[in-house]
A and B are shown apart, each in its own frame.
Chain A
């Protein structure tokens, strides 16, 4: 088990500080943008919470940060630093497919944390909005309603919409697996851009209005299909352990 853990730690050691830095930068940028937008609305015409979230461009920062996270995780394990990692990975006491599995687990955890971080950020910013706005414009339902009315907020925390939770879970899982497979294929000189397609799909279609079951289903199936192509099952080869 220690060997398996060491493989997991290999990915963590290579990326953890960069990811923490990215998370910190994203959090600071989103909070700052929201704070400035809030200050503006306090001094002028009051905006509803969902409008303020849109005005502050949090979704845009989140999207850019998400793409950077995808790049960071996909490039871990790639042979781009002038070193042929596969020569070492193929000689370890655990198989290379096991390594891909553990790196996928790590990637899934990182994408999950990214989602969780954004839920915490938007909830804290919502609380700040309620605390700073005049009581004439806020009520006990303000935050709840904002999460129903704003597509980005709703897709981030879909409240009672189970299909959106499942879609998000599939996104996280697919992204984690595809990022790990990208590095595996790259080490073999193959070009598999499933993670790129998947990342663009998530960026473009993440924010959806509530009650869109058909879209959730279609996006989930598309994400699973792309992940299948990343693994290589459509070509009938799968991931083969060569050592």
Chain B
């Protein structure tokens, strides 16, 4: 289990995370939602140890360090692969550093997305780069797969395919933390939704709870954010009057 206890992060004087506390048990697909600048990416980077923070983040009780970092993988729309290498070179490199690397899963996903194996990644399209980034994160044999807007730039059919594949291949012990704006798209694929706003966790709900209450994820988000449905019409009428 990943436990995040009282984690705060400041950039200069600006607070990016404000005493965030969370627990991510194994075997869940968790959606992390929030507006731009809400703190989603910062939270994920703190978990991975890319950013210094105050508070505590542990993996099964131990701090996250090079000793256990292989249990976490990361897919980001910023991409983290080596642009000059091809897919096969990546596979060989990752196999050396991640002993649990699944060659079978890698081969299967490469074939499914019809990605070229011997072409340098810098020559891939944005969509292909995203796919490859996610493939690498899924094949490392990590227990916790952290994804930060992994499908930015992919078309809707492609994303749909990916969610289905994701559900099909994940082992019961694998946890996915998926940060995205695409609420309605992932609603049917996640088991839990976490809402973050201005660095604070403002909502944490399981999809079963939502289902029982008869709400959809969008309703829950709007309710949590105190979204005013008449905001647009008011603004428009004011603007029209002015004109």
Contact = CB atoms under 8 A, between A and B. Distances in A.
- Which of B49, B73, B82, B122 counts the most chain A CB atoms within 10 A? B82
A131 to B, nearest CB: 42
Q: How large is the interface on B (under 10, 10 to 19, 20 to 34, 35 or more residues)?
A: 20 to 34
B169 interface: no
A88 B49 contact: no
Contacts of B81: 83, 88
A64 interface: no
A87 B97 contact: no
A15 B89 CA distance: 13
Interface of A: 2-3, 6, 9-10, 13-15, 76, 81-88, 90-95, 242-243
Contacts of B73: 91
Interface string B84-125: 110001001100111000000000000000000000011000
Interface stretch (B8-16, B62-70, B188-196, B223-231): B62-70
Nearest to B136: A88
A91 B69 contact: yes
B55 interface: no
Contacts of A6: 92-93, 96-97
Contact of A95 (B66, B70, B121): B66
Contact of B85 (A14, A90, A92): A14
Nearest to A241: B66
B48 interface: yes
Given A84-B79, A87-B78, 14 more contacts: A3-B96, A6-B97, A14-B82, A14-B84, A82-B129, A83-B79, A83-B81, A84-B78, A84-B80, A85-B80, A91-B69, A91-B74, A93-B96, A243-B65
